[in-house]
A and B are shown apart, each in its own frame.
Chain A
Amino acid sequence: MRKLALSDEILMSVDKSARYIGHEVNAIWKDLDKIDIRFCMCFPDVYEVGMSHIGIQILYEMFNRREDTFCERVYSPWPDLDKLMREHNIPLFALESQQPIKDFDFLGITLQYEMCYTNVLQILELSQIPIFSKERTWEHPIVIGGGPCTYNPEPLADFFDIFYIGEGETVYDLLLDTYKEYRKNGRSRHDFLVAASQIEGLYIPELYDVEYNDDGTLKSFIPREGAPEKIKRQVVADMSDTVYPEKPVVPYIRAVQDRVALEIQRGCIRGCRFCQAGMIYRPLRERSLEFLKKYALAMINSTGYEEITLCSLSSSDYTKLAELMDFLINEMGKRRINISLPSLRIDAFSLDVMSRVQDVRKSSITFAPEAGTQRMRDIINKGLDEETILNGASEAFKAGWDKVKLYFMLGQPFELDSDVEGIPHLADKIAMAFYDTVPKSERRGKVQVTISTSYFVPKPFTPFQWAAQITPEEYLRRKTLLMDTLKQEHNYKSIKYNWHDSNTSILEGLLARGDRRVGKVIYEAYKGGCLFDAWTDYFDMKKWEQAIERAGIDMDFYTTRERSTDELLPWDFIDTGMTKAFMKREYEKARKGQTTKNCREGCGGCGCNSWTTGVCIEA
């Protein structure tokens, strides 16, 4: 047993000290004398959140398969420990060895959502690693960022040495080999970064010069020292011949996802125009049934979890879902393992499956129409019509469900008041369907329909990347309009309305489409005390407003301004495989209310077939 980095006194005085002790079931340990590369993988949020992320577990497995590399983990210390570490000058440490991260070769930080950016700076500062990349030397680890937020890494450009664009399973080996060689030969850190820039998928921000026009837009983005003009996103070609953990690390304390996660496929065929995930993970690639069966059993046996969940963007599109479910229901039933299902498209098949694995009386069914009218659903290319929703709901009511959750977004491009009013109308029709299908004698009370709205944030690499985000005032107005309309619905007593906070969404808008200058806001916000911004209890809009002012940033320029489709965008240097022409075409079609077929009905010509894999080459 290793000595802990924190004293008993500290561990006894912080909340949930088990977050910091490592030694979990399946955690890996290696002889430090026998390895060349020490890699620390970081999820910049609290342990329970970070431990729930399957991506980290995949990379942990992948790195540790290398004999010369020891990959460890670190998560954000909660504010109580943060304070003590600063007071006692304790450097942030990795969970496995409990040793300071500043002595590692690499610190890899996964960037899953914008509101964790201040936590990134906390990780660096507590590790006693200079916050700014340009101040680092060979004395410090190479700080590398990955994950969905790297599709516009620019706001974080000053803080990272390297960004890995795309799926982690592909070129890390090459990077580590290059690193070893450059260290062995005594080459400089800069030389190493230049060499790394030659590896496909790696973006080294310091090798690019950025200039701006007088109106604040980007003028040029020019590589130096042979760095490529375009960074090609990395894609796993064969999802059934790639690394996946057989023995995921099992936390002692309850994680947000306290279960085995089985990623059945990556990507999505649907092409909803607002959806970044649906665009950046193209093309849809399924894992084979054999692969999934093998890993499902291996992970259940090695972890002892009592639940397994399927994960993917749109599980109903997995072609062998019926067979997979039969297998799981049978095998997991024997072992008394619960199966939790991600949101499935509601139809006869999914209702049957759901009723076999969960308690109908307790669970709810979920629809994500994202918009209240057919006009608006056509604009966003959400291939879900009212009839399908109402039929699905009626079927579910017949089968015993009486709770329905509905997810919508307010503020998508071209939205009219009538579209907002369509949301409660739709909810009302669903409630009506309940009272029409379920006779009074069989009801357990009122139907519960819950509407949730979020505030739309335009994201890079979507057809809406040029669109204006609505102002917080406008969001609140539409929210009120929705609420007022709701009160007049016939069944309004059966309908509940939750809405998402407007402050975090407008900031998310700033960070999602910001350029390098926005890094200053993140720095100022962090220095001003912002941390754990994804946590309502810690989020402080005042501090962010002050930071924006200190940084001299015009919020509207980044959020509510509609960009011309000719504008050079900060993330244009990334080649995701999807063409700009496709995105422009989709934006135009949205304006006209025209839909595009999903990948299985007919290729929309997005450009991702250049990867020659997945749905693009399905027979």
Chain B
Amino acid sequence: MIFRIRFAKYGVVKFIGHLDVMRYFQKAVRRSGLPIKYSQGFNPHQLMVFAQPLGVGVTSDGEYMDIETEDTDFEGNALSAEKVREILGGALTEGFEIVSIRQIPWQEGTKHPENAMSLVAGADYIMSLKDGYTLHAKKDSDLITSVEELQKKLQVFLERDSIVVSKKSKSGERDMDIKPYIYEASVTDNDKIPEFMCEDTVSASCSCLGIVHADIYTPGVRFFFRLAAGSAVNIKPELVLEAFLEFCGIEYEELAFQIHRANMYSDVALRKGL
């Protein structure tokens, strides 16, 4: 059986890197007694696939992993999403939390369904200005003070023909037009969540799953992005924000923002979660 688990990562464990998170879950599965399947070979490993690494320091309500299990637990009871949640959830420590689990329909012997990693196409992010920081103008620029103004600027920014940034990769830096990969963007300074991030219908007091563990900071300024993600093109939100603030003549400070991943999608247009 294949289960797709959506989990949150928040609080102090945001400082744990991706490889260590993977090792954490491998241990949690062993502690829990979940009948996970193993690969063949001299060094069998658990059949567990993570959708997308999360950077150190970033919190999330929308991490995904697939696990492949036996059909029954050790007592012979049939496994179900609820059961997996109960077993594995009990072995997690503070900062890791199962948001939801669903079983991926699959008949053993038939073609393996696409895994979470290959499905990722987009992701939502919140970038919150942290305590002790302000947005301040670069030399020779006027400071944009109100969020309304920022929102207007953001529209102008997005409507440009191209948004060229220099993107670092293993093979060095290169210029890239990221405009096609920014699907949504918005800024607020109140507790409202932009429409595009609401998981059901739009409501002023949104309680989307995606923001449950997003820390709230005194300045209140929050940027929201929906960006391309996955193995083909992956746009980091800090790249977009830096370009935008640059465009506004505002100093970009890397540590001024807490990044939170709200969710990931397999089809951005359809807002289809993983």
Contact = CB atoms under 8 A, between A and B. Distances in A.
B255 A12 contact: yes
Interface in B205-255: 255
Nearest to B23: A254
Contact of B27 (A13, A22, A304): A304
A9 B17 contact: no
Interface stretch (B90-98, B108-116, B146-154): B90-98
Contacts of B20: 18, 252-254
11 contacts: A8-B57, A8-B255, A11-B15, A12-B255, A25-B24, A252-B24, A253-B17, A254-B20, A305-B30, A306-B26, A336-B44
A21 B30 contact: no
Interface of B: 11-13, 15-17, 20, 23-24, 26-31, 38, 42, 44, 56-57, 91, 93-95, 130, 255, 258
Nearest to A29: B94
Contacts of A302: 31
A359 B94 contact: no
B255 A301 contact: no
A303 interface: yes
Interface string A333-361: 00110000000000000000000000100
A619 interface: no
A305 B30 CA distance: 8
Nearest to B130: A8
Given A11-B15, A12-B56, A23 B94 contact: yes
A516 B105 CA distance: 72
B93 A25 contact: yes
Given A1-B94, A304-B29, A304-B31, A22 B38 contact: no
Contacts of B27: 25, 250, 303-306
A88 B15 CA distance: 21
Contacts of B42: 359
Interface string A482-499: 000000000000000000
Contacts of B28: 304
Interface string A284-302: 0000000000000000111
A565 interface: no
Contact of A18 (B11, B16, B93): B16
A302 B28 CA distance: 9
A17 interface: yes
A304 B12 contact: no
A4 interface: yes
Interface in A419-455: none
Contacts of A300: 30
Contacts of A21: 12-13, 15
A22 B94 CA distance: 12
B59 to A, nearest CB: 11
Contacts of A335: 30
Interface in A1-54: 1-2, 4, 8-9, 11-13, 17-18, 21-25
B256 to A, nearest CB: 10
Interface in A301-327: 301-306
A254 B20 CA distance: 7
Contacts, number: 68
Contacts of A306: 26-27, 30
Contact of B17 (A13, A18, A305): A18
Given A17-B56, A305-B27, A336-B38, A1 B11 contact: yes
Contact of B12 (A13, A22, A250, A359): A22
Contacts of B258: 8
Interface string A392-421: 000000000000000000000000000000
Contacts of B94: 1, 23
Contacts of A252: 13, 16, 20, 24
Q: How large is the interface on A (under 10, 10 to 19, 20 to 34, 35 or more residues)?
A: 20 to 34
A24 B24 CA distance: 10
Contacts of A17: 15, 56
Contact of A304 (B17, B57, B91): B91
A24 B12 CA distance: 10
Given A8-B130, A22-B12, A254-B23, 18 more contacts: A2-B12, A8-B57, A8-B255, A12-B57, A12-B255, A24-B93, A25-B24, A25-B27, A253-B16, A300-B30, A301-B31, A303-B27, A304-B26, A304-B30, A304-B91, A306-B26, A306-B27, A335-B30
A613 B30 CA distance: 38
Nearest to B42: A359
A254 B27 CA distance: 12
A25 B24 CA distance: 9
Contacts of A305: 27, 30
Contacts of A12: 56-57, 255
Contacts of A254: 20, 23
Nearest to A11: B15
Contacts of B93: 23-25
Contacts of A25: 24, 27, 31, 93
Nearest to B28: A304
Contacts of A250: 27
A2 B95 CA distance: 11
Contacts of B29: 304
Contacts of A336: 38, 44
Nearest to A14: B15
Contacts of B23: 254
A335 B29 CA distance: 12
Contacts of A359: 42
B31 A18 contact: no
Contacts of B13: 21, 23, 252
Contacts of A22: 12
Contacts of B38: 336
A305 B94 CA distance: 19
Nearest to A335: B30
Contacts of B15: 11, 17-18, 21
A355 to B, nearest CB: 13
Nearest to A359: B42
Central interface residue in A18, A302, A305, by most chain B CB within 10 Å: A18
A336 B42 CA distance: 11
Interface in A248-276: 250, 252-254
A8 B91 CA distance: 27
A9 B95 contact: no
Contacts of B31: 25, 301-304
Q: Which 10 A-B pairs have the closest CB atoms?
A: A304-B27, A304-B31, A304-B30, A17-B15, A1-B11, A21-B12, A252-B16, A18-B16, A9-B255, A252-B20
A8 B12 CA distance: 10
B240 to A, nearest CB: 19
A11 B14 CA distance: 11
A120 B24 CA distance: 31
Residue in B12, B57, B94 whose Cβ sees the most chain A Cβ within 10 Å: B12
* Residue of A4, A8, A305 with highest tally of chain B CB at under 10 A: A8
Contacts of A8: 57, 130, 255, 258
Nearest to B33: A301
B45 to A, nearest CB: 9
A356 B255 CA distance: 51
Nearest to A17: B15
A23 B57 contact: no
A75 to B, nearest CB: 16
Interface in A72-120: none
